[in-house]
A and B are shown apart, each in its own frame.
Chain A
Protein backbone atom coordinates (compact mmCIF):
# COMPACT_ATOMS: atom_id res chain seq x y z
CA UNK A 1 0.00 0.00 0.00
CA UNK A 2 1.41 3.34 -0.97
CA UNK A 3 0.90 6.14 1.59
CA UNK A 4 2.65 8.72 -0.52
CA UNK A 5 1.24 9.72 -3.89
CA UNK A 6 3.40 10.57 -6.84
CA UNK A 7 1.91 14.10 -6.76
CA UNK A 8 3.02 14.48 -3.11
CA UNK A 9 6.57 13.73 -4.11
CA UNK A 10 6.39 16.14 -7.03
CA UNK A 11 5.14 18.86 -4.67
CA UNK A 12 7.87 18.16 -2.11
CA UNK A 13 10.47 18.24 -4.85
CA UNK A 14 9.17 21.60 -6.03
CA UNK A 15 9.21 23.02 -2.47
CA UNK A 16 12.76 21.73 -1.96
CA UNK A 17 13.82 23.10 -5.38
CA UNK A 18 14.89 19.65 -6.55
CA UNK A 19 14.53 19.01 -10.24
CA UNK A 20 13.11 15.52 -10.79
CA UNK A 21 12.44 13.57 -13.95
CA UNK A 22 9.33 11.42 -14.38
CA UNK A 23 11.50 8.36 -13.76
CA UNK A 24 12.80 9.88 -10.52
CA UNK A 25 9.27 10.54 -9.35
CA UNK A 26 8.13 7.00 -10.11
CA UNK A 27 11.11 5.42 -8.38
CA UNK A 28 11.16 7.76 -5.37
CA UNK A 29 7.45 7.73 -4.65
CA UNK A 30 7.75 3.95 -4.23
CA UNK A 31 10.85 4.18 -2.05
CA UNK A 32 9.61 7.08 0.07
CA UNK A 33 6.30 5.32 0.58
CA UNK A 34 8.12 2.30 1.95
CA UNK A 35 9.94 4.56 4.42
CA UNK A 36 6.77 6.36 5.50
CA UNK A 37 4.99 3.02 5.94
CA UNK A 38 7.83 1.68 8.05
CA UNK A 39 7.67 4.72 10.32
CA UNK A 40 3.90 4.34 10.57
CA UNK A 41 4.45 0.79 11.79
CA UNK A 42 6.68 2.07 14.61
CA UNK A 43 3.92 4.50 15.60
CA UNK A 44 1.51 1.58 15.81
CA UNK A 45 3.81 -0.38 18.08
CA UNK A 46 4.49 2.51 20.47
CA UNK A 47 1.84 2.59 23.19
CA UNK A 48 0.37 5.69 24.76
CA UNK A 49 2.94 5.33 27.56
CA UNK A 50 5.74 6.13 25.11
CA UNK A 51 5.88 9.89 24.49
CA UNK A 52 6.86 11.20 21.10
CA UNK A 53 10.43 12.47 21.18
CA UNK A 54 12.49 14.59 18.86
CA UNK A 55 15.81 14.14 20.65
CA UNK A 56 17.20 10.73 21.57
CA UNK A 57 19.46 12.02 24.37
CA UNK A 58 17.62 13.19 27.49
CA UNK A 59 19.29 16.58 27.77
CA UNK A 60 17.86 20.08 27.87
CA UNK A 61 18.78 23.71 28.60
CA UNK A 62 22.16 23.76 26.94
CA UNK A 63 22.66 27.51 26.65
CA UNK A 64 25.58 29.85 26.21
CA UNK A 65 26.14 33.12 28.07
CA UNK A 66 25.34 36.32 26.16
CA UNK A 67 28.98 37.19 25.48
CA UNK A 68 30.33 38.46 22.19
CA UNK A 69 32.78 36.18 20.37
CA UNK A 70 34.87 37.30 17.43
CA UNK A 71 33.14 37.24 14.06
CA UNK A 72 34.78 36.47 10.75
CA UNK A 73 36.46 39.36 8.96
CA UNK A 74 34.43 40.49 5.98
CA UNK A 75 36.82 39.08 3.37
CA UNK A 76 36.70 35.64 4.97
CA UNK A 77 32.93 35.79 5.32
CA UNK A 78 32.70 36.48 1.59
CA UNK A 79 35.49 34.08 0.59
CA UNK A 80 33.17 31.27 -0.44
CA UNK A 81 30.63 33.52 -2.14
CA UNK A 82 30.36 32.92 -5.90
CA UNK A 83 30.13 36.70 -6.27
CA UNK A 84 30.43 39.66 -3.91
CA UNK A 85 29.94 43.41 -4.27
CA UNK A 86 30.32 46.25 -1.75
CA UNK A 87 31.03 43.85 1.08
CA UNK A 88 27.84 41.96 0.37
CA UNK A 89 26.91 38.62 -1.16
CA UNK A 90 25.77 39.17 -4.71
CA UNK A 91 22.79 37.05 -5.69
CA UNK A 92 20.83 36.78 -8.94
CA UNK A 93 17.71 38.81 -9.49
CA UNK A 94 15.02 37.83 -7.00
CA UNK A 95 11.76 37.14 -8.77
CA UNK A 96 8.24 36.84 -7.61
CA UNK A 97 8.04 38.76 -4.40
CA UNK A 98 9.27 41.53 -2.22
CA UNK A 99 11.09 40.59 0.96
Chain B
Protein backbone atom coordinates (compact mmCIF):
# COMPACT_ATOMS: atom_id res chain seq x y z
CA UNK B 1 0.00 0.00 0.00
CA UNK B 2 1.35 3.38 -0.91
CA UNK B 3 1.77 5.69 2.06
CA UNK B 4 -0.02 9.03 2.02
CA UNK B 5 2.30 11.84 1.11
CA UNK B 6 2.39 15.48 0.21
CA UNK B 7 4.61 17.11 -2.37
CA UNK B 8 8.21 17.99 -1.54
CA UNK B 9 7.45 21.70 -1.87
CA UNK B 10 4.54 21.47 0.57
CA UNK B 11 6.67 19.49 3.02
CA UNK B 12 9.39 22.14 2.84
CA UNK B 13 6.84 24.89 3.37
CA UNK B 14 5.50 23.37 6.57
CA UNK B 15 8.61 21.76 8.11
CA UNK B 16 12.33 22.26 8.61
CA UNK B 17 14.35 19.32 7.23
CA UNK B 18 17.45 17.88 8.90
CA UNK B 19 19.49 15.30 7.04
CA UNK B 20 22.67 13.29 7.22
CA UNK B 21 24.37 11.00 4.75
CA UNK B 22 26.52 7.92 5.15
CA UNK B 23 28.58 7.14 2.08
CA UNK B 24 30.38 3.83 1.68
CA UNK B 25 33.34 3.94 -0.67
CA UNK B 26 34.79 0.67 -1.95
CA UNK B 27 38.54 1.06 -2.23
CA UNK B 28 40.34 -0.11 -5.37
CA UNK B 29 43.17 -1.86 -3.56
CA UNK B 30 44.51 -4.99 -5.25
CA UNK B 31 43.54 -7.11 -2.25
CA UNK B 32 40.91 -7.22 0.47
CA UNK B 33 41.03 -5.35 3.78
CA UNK B 34 42.33 -8.18 5.95
CA UNK B 35 43.55 -10.92 3.57
CA UNK B 36 45.38 -11.33 0.28
CA UNK B 37 42.35 -12.34 -1.82
CA UNK B 38 41.95 -10.28 -4.98
CA UNK B 39 39.61 -7.30 -4.83
CA UNK B 40 38.17 -7.45 -8.31
CA UNK B 41 34.60 -7.05 -9.51
CA UNK B 42 32.95 -9.74 -11.63
CA UNK B 43 34.86 -12.96 -10.88
CA UNK B 44 33.20 -16.40 -10.70
CA UNK B 45 31.41 -16.74 -7.33
CA UNK B 46 33.48 -17.79 -4.33
CA UNK B 47 36.78 -17.85 -6.20
CA UNK B 48 38.25 -14.85 -4.34
CA UNK B 49 37.85 -16.23 -0.86
CA UNK B 50 40.11 -17.73 1.80
CA UNK B 51 39.83 -18.86 5.42
CA UNK B 52 40.09 -15.23 6.65
CA UNK B 53 37.27 -13.72 4.60
CA UNK B 54 35.15 -16.85 4.98
CA UNK B 55 35.52 -16.50 8.73
CA UNK B 56 36.86 -20.02 9.21
CA UNK B 57 38.02 -20.85 12.74
CA UNK B 58 41.64 -20.08 13.53
CA UNK B 59 42.17 -17.64 10.67
CA UNK B 60 43.69 -14.27 11.51
CA UNK B 61 43.13 -10.94 9.76
CA UNK B 62 46.04 -8.61 8.92
CA UNK B 63 45.43 -5.01 7.85
CA UNK B 64 46.11 -4.00 4.25
CA UNK B 65 48.58 -1.11 4.43
CA UNK B 66 47.37 0.40 1.15
CA UNK B 67 43.79 0.49 2.45
CA UNK B 68 44.94 2.34 5.56
CA UNK B 69 46.81 4.80 3.35
CA UNK B 70 43.72 5.31 1.15
CA UNK B 71 41.50 5.87 4.19
CA UNK B 72 43.90 8.45 5.63
CA UNK B 73 44.19 10.27 2.29
CA UNK B 74 40.40 10.36 1.98
CA UNK B 75 40.15 11.68 5.53
CA UNK B 76 42.68 14.40 4.76
CA UNK B 77 40.80 15.37 1.59
CA UNK B 78 37.70 15.77 3.79
CA UNK B 79 39.58 18.05 6.16
CA UNK B 80 39.53 15.45 8.94
CA UNK B 81 41.94 15.06 11.82
CA UNK B 82 43.79 11.75 11.76
CA UNK B 83 43.72 9.97 15.08
CA UNK B 84 47.15 9.13 16.48
CA UNK B 85 45.88 5.77 17.64
CA UNK B 86 42.79 4.12 16.26
CA UNK B 87 41.58 0.59 16.45
CA UNK B 88 39.13 -1.80 14.89
CA UNK B 89 35.97 -3.10 16.52
CA UNK B 90 33.62 -5.99 15.94
CA UNK B 91 30.06 -5.12 15.02
CA UNK B 92 28.02 -8.20 15.83
CA UNK B 93 24.93 -9.20 13.90
CA UNK B 94 23.63 -12.15 11.97
CA UNK B 95 23.05 -12.11 8.28
CA UNK B 96 24.02 -14.75 5.70
CA UNK B 97 26.25 -12.36 3.71
CA UNK B 98 28.37 -11.83 6.83
CA UNK B 99 30.52 -14.94 7.12
CA UNK B 100 31.96 -14.31 10.58
CA UNK B 101 28.65 -13.13 12.14
CA UNK B 102 30.46 -9.88 12.84
CA UNK B 103 31.79 -7.12 10.65
CA UNK B 104 35.19 -5.65 11.40
CA UNK B 105 34.62 -1.91 11.56
CA UNK B 106 35.68 1.00 13.73
CA UNK B 107 33.55 2.30 16.55
CA UNK B 108 34.78 4.67 19.23
CA UNK B 109 38.14 5.37 17.63
CA UNK B 110 37.68 5.97 13.89
CA UNK B 111 40.86 6.81 12.01
CA UNK B 112 39.51 10.09 10.58
CA UNK B 113 37.24 12.47 12.47
CA UNK B 114 35.95 16.04 12.58
CA UNK B 115 36.26 17.33 9.05
CA UNK B 116 34.42 19.61 6.72
CA UNK B 117 33.83 19.67 3.01
CA UNK B 118 32.82 22.49 0.70
CA UNK B 119 30.12 21.45 -1.75
CA UNK B 120 29.50 23.66 -4.76
CA UNK B 121 25.93 23.75 -6.07
CA UNK B 122 25.03 24.28 -9.73
CA UNK B 123 24.48 28.01 -9.22
CA UNK B 124 27.88 28.39 -7.58
CA UNK B 125 26.60 28.53 -3.99
CA UNK B 126 29.11 26.92 -1.63
CA UNK B 127 27.74 24.88 1.28
CA UNK B 128 30.01 23.60 4.04
CA UNK B 129 29.15 20.08 5.16
CA UNK B 130 30.42 18.92 8.54
CA UNK B 131 32.05 15.48 8.54
CA UNK B 132 31.62 13.49 11.74
CA UNK B 133 34.00 10.67 10.87
CA UNK B 134 35.46 8.48 8.16
CA UNK B 135 36.26 4.96 9.28
CA UNK B 136 37.55 1.74 7.79
CA UNK B 137 35.52 -1.43 7.58
CA UNK B 138 34.96 -4.48 5.42
CA UNK B 139 32.22 -5.14 2.89
CA UNK B 140 29.78 -8.07 3.10
CA UNK B 141 29.16 -10.80 0.51
CA UNK B 142 26.35 -10.80 -2.00
CA UNK B 143 23.01 -12.59 -1.57
CA UNK B 144 20.97 -13.83 -4.50
CA UNK B 145 17.39 -14.75 -3.75
CA UNK B 146 16.00 -17.80 -5.53
CA UNK B 147 12.36 -18.47 -6.26
CA UNK B 148 9.49 -16.00 -6.11
CA UNK B 149 10.07 -12.89 -8.19
CA UNK B 150 13.78 -12.67 -7.42
CA UNK B 151 13.24 -10.39 -4.44
CA UNK B 152 13.42 -11.49 -0.86
CA UNK B 153 9.63 -11.84 -0.57
CA UNK B 154 8.54 -15.28 -1.61
CA UNK B 155 12.10 -16.54 -2.15
CA UNK B 156 12.51 -20.23 -1.34
CA UNK B 157 16.16 -19.86 -0.38
CA UNK B 158 19.18 -17.64 -0.97
CA UNK B 159 22.65 -18.12 -2.41
CA UNK B 160 25.72 -16.33 -1.12
CA UNK B 161 28.88 -15.30 -2.94
CA UNK B 162 31.61 -14.07 -0.57
CA UNK B 163 33.93 -12.56 -3.22
CA UNK B 164 32.93 -9.09 -2.04
CA UNK B 165 33.16 -10.10 1.63
CA UNK B 166 36.16 -8.37 3.17
CA UNK B 167 36.62 -5.79 0.41
CA UNK B 168 37.89 -2.57 2.03
CA UNK B 169 35.39 0.21 2.60
CA UNK B 170 35.61 3.67 4.03
CA UNK B 171 32.36 4.88 5.53
CA UNK B 172 31.99 8.66 5.65
CA UNK B 173 29.40 10.03 8.06
CA UNK B 174 28.22 13.64 7.99
CA UNK B 175 27.07 15.63 10.97
CA UNK B 176 23.37 16.52 10.92
CA UNK B 177 22.90 19.09 8.17
CA UNK B 178 20.39 21.81 8.95
CA UNK B 179 19.16 25.03 7.43
CA UNK B 180 19.04 23.87 3.82
CA UNK B 181 15.25 24.10 3.51
CA UNK B 182 14.02 23.33 0.02
CA UNK B 183 17.60 22.97 -1.21
CA UNK B 184 18.02 19.85 0.94
CA UNK B 185 17.66 17.37 -1.93
CA UNK B 186 19.99 19.39 -4.14
CA UNK B 187 22.65 19.69 -1.42
CA UNK B 188 22.45 15.95 -0.67
CA UNK B 189 22.98 15.12 -4.31
CA UNK B 190 25.85 17.58 -4.69
CA UNK B 191 27.51 16.23 -1.55
CA UNK B 192 27.54 12.65 -2.82
CA UNK B 193 28.71 13.83 -6.26
CA UNK B 194 31.58 15.68 -4.57
CA UNK B 195 32.59 12.60 -2.58
CA UNK B 196 32.54 10.58 -5.81
CA UNK B 197 34.71 13.17 -7.57
CA UNK B 198 37.14 13.27 -4.66
CA UNK B 199 37.66 9.51 -4.47
CA UNK B 200 38.29 9.48 -8.21
CA UNK B 201 40.71 12.39 -7.99
CA UNK B 202 42.52 10.59 -5.16
CA UNK B 203 42.60 7.45 -7.30
CA UNK B 204 41.42 5.32 -4.35
CA UNK B 205 38.16 4.09 -5.93
CA UNK B 206 36.62 4.01 -9.38
CA UNK B 207 33.67 5.86 -7.83
CA UNK B 208 31.18 3.92 -9.94
CA UNK B 209 27.80 4.19 -8.27
CA UNK B 210 26.28 1.81 -10.84
CA UNK B 211 28.63 -0.94 -9.64
CA UNK B 212 28.18 -0.12 -5.97
CA UNK B 213 31.64 1.41 -5.51
CA UNK B 214 30.00 4.44 -3.92
CA UNK B 215 26.77 3.79 -1.98
CA UNK B 216 24.74 6.18 0.08
CA UNK B 217 22.34 5.86 3.01
CA UNK B 218 20.19 8.93 3.52
CA UNK B 219 18.91 9.98 6.94
CA UNK B 220 16.10 12.49 6.99
CA UNK B 221 13.87 13.97 9.66
CA UNK B 222 11.49 16.90 9.77
CA UNK B 223 10.90 19.28 12.64
CA UNK B 224 8.40 22.07 13.17
CA UNK B 225 9.34 25.46 11.84
CA UNK B 226 10.26 27.89 14.58
CA UNK B 227 7.80 30.77 14.97
CA UNK B 228 8.95 33.92 13.18
CA UNK B 229 11.80 35.62 14.98
CA UNK B 230 12.70 32.57 17.04
CA UNK B 231 15.77 30.36 16.77
CA UNK B 232 15.20 27.34 14.53
CA UNK B 233 18.07 25.51 16.23
CA UNK B 234 16.11 25.60 19.50
CA UNK B 235 13.54 23.23 17.99
CA UNK B 236 14.46 19.60 18.72
CA UNK B 237 15.07 17.20 15.81
CA UNK B 238 12.24 14.93 14.74
CA UNK B 239 12.43 11.14 14.43
CA UNK B 240 14.45 10.12 11.39
CA UNK B 241 14.30 7.42 8.80
CA UNK B 242 17.41 5.93 7.23
CA UNK B 243 16.95 5.02 3.58
CA UNK B 244 19.53 2.39 2.61
CA UNK B 245 21.40 1.84 -0.62
CA UNK B 246 20.42 4.88 -2.60
CA UNK B 247 22.84 4.28 -5.39
CA UNK B 248 22.58 7.02 -7.98
CA UNK B 249 22.72 10.80 -7.76
CA UNK B 250 19.22 11.12 -9.11
CA UNK B 251 17.94 8.56 -6.61
CA UNK B 252 19.37 10.58 -3.71
CA UNK B 253 17.27 13.57 -4.73
CA UNK B 254 14.21 11.42 -5.38
CA UNK B 255 14.54 9.54 -2.06
CA UNK B 256 14.66 12.81 -0.14
CA UNK B 257 11.63 14.07 -2.06
CA UNK B 258 9.72 10.91 -1.22
CA UNK B 259 10.71 10.72 2.44
CA UNK B 260 10.04 14.41 3.08
CA UNK B 261 6.59 14.08 1.55
CA UNK B 262 5.82 10.88 3.47
CA UNK B 263 6.97 12.21 6.84
CA UNK B 264 5.23 15.57 6.33
CA UNK B 265 1.94 13.79 5.63
CA UNK B 266 2.27 11.74 8.85
CA UNK B 267 3.21 14.74 10.99
CA UNK B 268 0.48 16.94 9.54
CA UNK B 269 -1.94 14.17 10.41
CA UNK B 270 -0.68 14.10 14.00
CA UNK B 271 0.89 10.66 13.47
CA UNK B 272 4.42 9.78 14.60
CA UNK B 273 7.34 9.07 12.26
CA UNK B 274 8.85 5.73 13.21
CA UNK B 275 12.63 5.64 13.55
CA UNK B 276 13.49 2.88 11.13
CA UNK B 277 15.54 1.67 8.21
CA UNK B 278 13.77 1.98 4.87
CA UNK B 279 14.50 0.46 1.49
CA UNK B 280 14.72 2.48 -1.70
CA UNK B 281 12.96 1.13 -4.78
CA UNK B 282 14.47 2.43 -7.97
CA UNK B 283 11.51 1.40 -10.13
CA UNK B 284 8.72 3.08 -8.17
CA UNK B 285 10.90 5.81 -6.59
CA UNK B 286 9.44 4.97 -3.22
CA UNK B 287 10.74 3.76 0.12
CA UNK B 288 9.28 0.92 2.16
CA UNK B 289 9.93 0.06 5.80
CA UNK B 290 12.68 -2.38 6.77
CA UNK B 291 13.61 -3.36 10.28
CA UNK B 292 13.21 -0.93 13.14
CA UNK B 293 16.50 0.81 13.59
CA UNK B 294 18.79 -1.11 15.93
CA UNK B 295 20.43 0.78 18.72
CA UNK B 296 24.22 0.80 18.66
CA UNK B 297 24.26 -1.36 21.80
CA UNK B 298 22.42 -4.10 19.95
CA UNK B 299 25.55 -4.55 17.85
CA UNK B 300 27.59 -5.22 21.01
CA UNK B 301 30.65 -3.49 19.61
CA UNK B 302 33.92 -4.44 21.25
CA UNK B 303 37.58 -3.94 20.30
CA UNK B 304 38.75 -6.45 17.68
CA UNK B 305 41.25 -8.59 19.59
CA UNK B 306 42.87 -10.02 16.44
CA UNK B 307 44.02 -6.65 15.08
CA UNK B 308 46.49 -4.20 16.53
CA UNK B 309 45.92 -0.45 16.76
CA UNK B 310 46.68 1.70 13.73
CA UNK B 311 49.07 4.48 14.72
CA UNK B 312 50.16 6.40 11.64
CA UNK B 313 53.27 8.49 12.27
CA UNK B 314 52.82 12.23 11.93
CA UNK B 315 55.52 12.20 9.23
CA UNK B 316 53.53 9.71 7.16
CA UNK B 317 50.33 11.69 7.58
CA UNK B 318 52.09 14.89 6.43
CA UNK B 319 53.61 13.02 3.49
CA UNK B 320 50.13 11.82 2.50
CA UNK B 321 48.73 15.32 2.95
CA UNK B 322 51.12 16.39 0.20
CA UNK B 323 49.38 13.97 -2.22
CA UNK B 324 45.88 15.39 -1.78
CA UNK B 325 44.60 16.80 -5.09
CA UNK B 326 42.79 20.07 -5.47
CA UNK B 327 39.08 20.08 -4.55
CA UNK B 328 37.32 18.97 -7.77
CA UNK B 329 34.86 21.88 -7.89
CA UNK B 330 37.62 24.43 -7.31
CA UNK B 331 39.79 22.71 -9.89
CA UNK B 332 36.94 22.99 -12.41
CA UNK B 333 36.54 26.71 -11.78
CA UNK B 334 40.28 27.21 -12.24
CA UNK B 335 40.48 25.09 -15.40
CA UNK B 336 37.46 26.81 -16.94
CA UNK B 337 39.32 30.13 -16.62
CA UNK B 338 42.65 28.75 -17.77
CA UNK B 339 41.15 26.95 -20.72
CA UNK B 340 38.83 29.79 -21.68
CA UNK B 341 35.81 27.48 -21.88
CA UNK B 342 32.23 28.73 -21.68
CA UNK B 343 30.01 27.55 -18.81
CA UNK B 344 28.28 25.18 -21.20
CA UNK B 345 31.51 23.77 -22.62
CA UNK B 346 32.89 23.15 -19.14
CA UNK B 347 29.67 21.58 -17.93
CA UNK B 348 29.67 19.18 -20.88
CA UNK B 349 33.30 18.26 -20.26
CA UNK B 350 32.56 17.56 -16.59
CA UNK B 351 29.42 15.59 -17.38
CA UNK B 352 31.41 13.44 -19.82
CA UNK B 353 34.11 12.79 -17.17
CA UNK B 354 36.58 14.27 -19.62
CA UNK B 355 38.45 16.57 -17.21
CA UNK B 356 41.34 14.16 -16.48
CA UNK B 357 41.96 13.27 -20.14
CA UNK B 358 41.74 16.93 -21.15
CA UNK B 359 44.28 17.89 -18.50
CA UNK B 360 46.63 15.18 -19.74
CA UNK B 361 46.13 16.14 -23.40
CA UNK B 362 46.79 19.81 -22.69
CA UNK B 363 49.88 18.84 -20.69
CA UNK B 364 51.06 16.85 -23.71
CA UNK B 365 51.00 20.02 -25.77
CA UNK B 366 47.56 20.37 -27.36
CA UNK B 367 45.50 23.53 -26.98
CA UNK B 368 42.49 23.18 -24.66
CA UNK B 369 40.07 23.73 -27.55
CA UNK B 370 41.78 21.07 -29.68
CA UNK B 371 41.78 18.65 -26.75
CA UNK B 372 38.09 19.34 -26.18
CA UNK B 373 37.29 18.91 -29.87
CA UNK B 374 38.77 15.39 -29.99
CA UNK B 375 37.61 14.05 -26.64
CA UNK B 376 34.10 15.52 -26.76
CA UNK B 377 33.61 14.75 -30.45
CA UNK B 378 35.06 11.76 -32.26
CA UNK B 379 36.36 10.00 -29.13
CA UNK B 380 33.17 10.52 -27.11
CA UNK B 381 31.27 8.85 -29.97
CA UNK B 382 33.65 5.91 -30.10
CA UNK B 383 33.59 5.50 -26.30
CA UNK B 384 29.81 5.58 -26.38
CA UNK B 385 29.69 2.96 -29.15
CA UNK B 386 32.12 0.71 -27.26
CA UNK B 387 30.35 1.28 -23.94
CA UNK B 388 33.58 2.32 -22.20
CA UNK B 389 34.76 5.48 -20.47
CA UNK B 390 37.11 7.91 -22.20
CA UNK B 391 40.15 6.80 -20.21
CA UNK B 392 39.48 3.20 -21.20
CA UNK B 393 39.80 3.93 -24.92
CA UNK B 394 42.86 2.52 -26.63
CA UNK B 395 44.25 5.96 -27.35
CA UNK B 396 46.24 7.99 -24.85
CA UNK B 397 46.06 11.76 -24.25
CA UNK B 398 49.64 12.00 -25.54
CA UNK B 399 48.56 10.36 -28.81
CA UNK B 400 45.67 12.79 -29.15
CA UNK B 401 48.09 15.69 -28.68
CA UNK B 402 50.42 14.12 -31.27
CA UNK B 403 47.55 13.76 -33.71
CA UNK B 404 46.65 17.42 -33.30
CA UNK B 405 50.27 18.48 -33.82
CA UNK B 406 50.25 16.60 -37.14
CA UNK B 407 47.20 18.64 -38.14
CA UNK B 408 48.76 21.89 -36.92
CA UNK B 409 51.93 21.26 -38.89
CA UNK B 410 49.86 20.72 -42.04
CA UNK B 411 51.00 17.13 -42.53
CA UNK B 412 47.40 15.94 -42.34
CA UNK B 413 44.03 17.66 -42.42
CA UNK B 414 41.07 17.02 -40.10
CA UNK B 415 39.59 14.36 -42.32
CA UNK B 416 42.87 12.43 -42.53
CA UNK B 417 43.32 12.93 -38.79
CA UNK B 418 40.06 11.10 -38.17
CA UNK B 419 41.29 8.22 -40.32
CA UNK B 420 44.59 8.20 -38.45
CA UNK B 421 42.66 8.14 -35.17
CA UNK B 422 40.75 5.05 -36.34
CA UNK B 423 44.12 3.42 -36.97
CA UNK B 424 45.39 4.32 -33.50
CA UNK B 425 42.20 2.97 -31.93
CA UNK B 426 42.61 -0.22 -33.97
CA UNK B 427 46.05 -0.72 -32.43
CA UNK B 428 48.09 0.17 -35.51
CA UNK B 429 50.51 2.31 -33.52
CA UNK B 430 51.11 5.98 -32.81
CA UNK B 431 49.42 8.66 -34.94
CA UNK B 432 52.67 9.32 -36.81
CA UNK B 433 53.16 5.60 -37.43
CA UNK B 434 49.57 5.24 -38.71
CA UNK B 435 49.92 8.27 -41.00
CA UNK B 436 53.08 6.79 -42.49
CA UNK B 437 51.83 3.21 -42.73
CA UNK B 438 48.51 4.20 -44.30
CA UNK B 439 50.04 6.93 -46.49
CA UNK B 440 47.66 9.53 -45.12
CA UNK B 441 49.76 12.63 -45.63
CA UNK B 442 48.34 15.68 -47.33
CA UNK B 443 49.53 16.00 -50.92
CA UNK B 444 51.55 19.17 -50.64
CA UNK B 445 53.46 18.70 -53.87
CA UNK B 446 52.00 21.42 -56.08
CA UNK B 447 52.79 19.65 -59.34
CA UNK B 448 50.65 16.69 -58.29
CA UNK B 449 47.85 19.03 -57.28
CA UNK B 450 48.14 21.07 -60.47
CA UNK B 451 47.85 17.90 -62.51
CA UNK B 452 44.73 16.87 -60.60
CA UNK B 453 43.23 20.36 -61.01
CA UNK B 454 43.92 20.39 -64.73
CA UNK B 455 42.27 17.02 -65.13
CA UNK B 456 39.22 18.10 -63.17
CA UNK B 457 38.90 21.35 -65.11
CA UNK B 458 39.21 19.49 -68.39
CA UNK B 459 36.44 17.15 -67.33
CA UNK B 460 34.13 20.02 -66.44
CA UNK B 461 34.72 22.84 -68.94
CA UNK B 462 31.41 24.49 -68.08
CA UNK B 463 32.61 25.00 -64.51
CA UNK B 464 35.79 26.65 -65.73
CA UNK B 465 33.66 29.01 -67.81
CA UNK B 466 31.51 29.92 -64.80
CA UNK B 467 34.58 30.69 -62.69
CA UNK B 468 35.96 32.88 -65.41
CA UNK B 469 32.57 34.61 -65.63
CA UNK B 470 33.07 35.60 -61.98
CA UNK B 471 31.13 32.84 -60.25
CA UNK B 472 34.07 31.98 -58.02
CA UNK B 473 31.98 29.78 -55.76
CA UNK B 474 31.65 27.32 -58.66
CA UNK B 475 35.25 26.34 -57.89
CA UNK B 476 33.81 24.21 -55.08
CA UNK B 477 32.86 21.52 -57.56
CA UNK B 478 36.45 21.29 -58.80
CA UNK B 479 37.82 21.28 -55.24
CA UNK B 480 35.50 18.36 -54.54
CA UNK B 481 36.68 16.49 -57.62
CA UNK B 482 40.33 17.02 -56.69
CA UNK B 483 39.76 15.90 -53.10
CA UNK B 484 38.08 12.79 -54.45
CA UNK B 485 40.91 12.12 -56.87
CA UNK B 486 43.48 12.48 -54.08
CA UNK B 487 41.39 10.44 -51.63
CA UNK B 488 41.04 13.45 -49.35
CA UNK B 489 44.74 13.96 -49.00
CA UNK B 490 44.88 17.41 -50.58
CA UNK B 491 44.89 20.70 -48.72
CA UNK B 492 41.57 22.15 -49.87
CA UNK B 493 42.74 25.74 -49.48
CA UNK B 494 45.74 25.18 -51.68
CA UNK B 495 43.62 23.37 -54.28
CA UNK B 496 41.31 26.35 -54.46
CA UNK B 497 44.22 28.72 -54.98
CA UNK B 498 45.52 26.61 -57.85
CA UNK B 499 42.08 26.46 -59.49
CA UNK B 500 41.75 30.23 -59.40
CA UNK B 501 45.27 30.64 -60.75
CA UNK B 502 44.50 28.26 -63.60
CA UNK B 503 41.26 30.09 -64.34
CA UNK B 504 43.15 33.34 -64.32
CA UNK B 505 41.04 35.01 -61.66
CA UNK B 506 42.03 36.38 -58.25
CA UNK B 507 40.65 34.72 -55.12
A41 at the interface (CB under 8 A from B): no
B29–A66 contact, CB under 8 A?
Answer: yes
Q: Which of B37-45, B169-177, B496-504 contacts A (4 or more CB under 8 A)?
A: B37-45
B369 at the interface (CB under 8 A from A): no
Q: How far is the CA of A67 from the CA of B277 in the complex (A)?
A: 37
- Minimum CB–CB distance from A71 to chain B (whole Å) comes to 5
Which 6 residue pairs spanning A and B have beta carbons closest together?
Answer: A69-B36, A54-B303, A66-B66, A63-B65, A88-B159, A60-B311
Interface residues on A, range: 35 or more
A49 at the interface (CB under 8 A from B): no
Q: Which of B47-55, B115-123, B185-193, B248-256 contacts A (4 or more CB under 8 A)?
A: B47-55
Q: Mark contacts of A59-98 with chain B using CB atoms, 8 A cut-off: 1 yes-contact digit, 0 otherwise.
A: 1111111111111111001101000011111111110111
Determine the main DSSP class of B at the interface with A.
loop
B62–A88 contact, CB under 8 A?
Answer: no
B160–A91 contact, CB under 8 A?
Answer: yes
Q: Which of B38, B145, B159, B303 contacts A85 (CB 8 A)?
A: B159
Residues of A within 8 A of B31 (CB): 66-69
Residues of B within 8 A of A73 (CB): 47
Q: How far is the CA of A94 from the CA of B97 in the complex (A)?
A: 11
- A-to-B contact residues, CB < 8 Å: 12, 15-17, 54-55, 59-74, 77-78, 80, 85-94, 96-99
Interface residues on B, range: 35 or more
Q: How far is the CA of A86 from the CA of B96 in the complex (A)?
A: 16
B44–A87 contact, CB under 8 A?
Answer: yes
Residues of A within 8 A of B300 (CB): 12, 15-16
Q: Which of B44, B48, B85, B160 contacts A89 (CB 8 A)?
A: B160
Q: Mark contacts of B363-396 with chain A using CB atoms, 8 A cut-off: 1 yes-contact digit, 0 otherwise.
A: 0000000000000000000000000000000000
Residues of B within 8 A of A93 (CB): 155-158
Residues of A within 8 A of B146 (CB): 85
Q: Can you list 5 A-B pairs with a CB-CB distance of less than 8 A?
A: A54-B303, A55-B309, A63-B64, A74-B46, A99-B152
Given contacts A69-B31, A71-B37, A60 and B308 within 8 Å (CB-CB): yes
Residues of A within 8 A of B95 (CB): 94, 99
Given A60-B311, A62-B308, 15 other A-B contacts at CB below 8 A?
Answer: A16-B300, A17-B94, A54-B309, A55-B87, A55-B309, A61-B312, A66-B29, A71-B48, A74-B45, A86-B45, A89-B162, A90-B158, A91-B158, A94-B152, A99-B152
Q: Which of A55, A62, A97 contacts B291 (CB 8 A)?
A: A97
B270 at the interface (CB under 8 A from A): no
Q: Which residues of B64-78 have CB atoms within 8 Å of chain A's CB atoms?
A: 64-68
B327 at the interface (CB under 8 A from A): no
Given contacts A55-B303, A60-B85, A71 and B62 within 8 Å (CB-CB): no
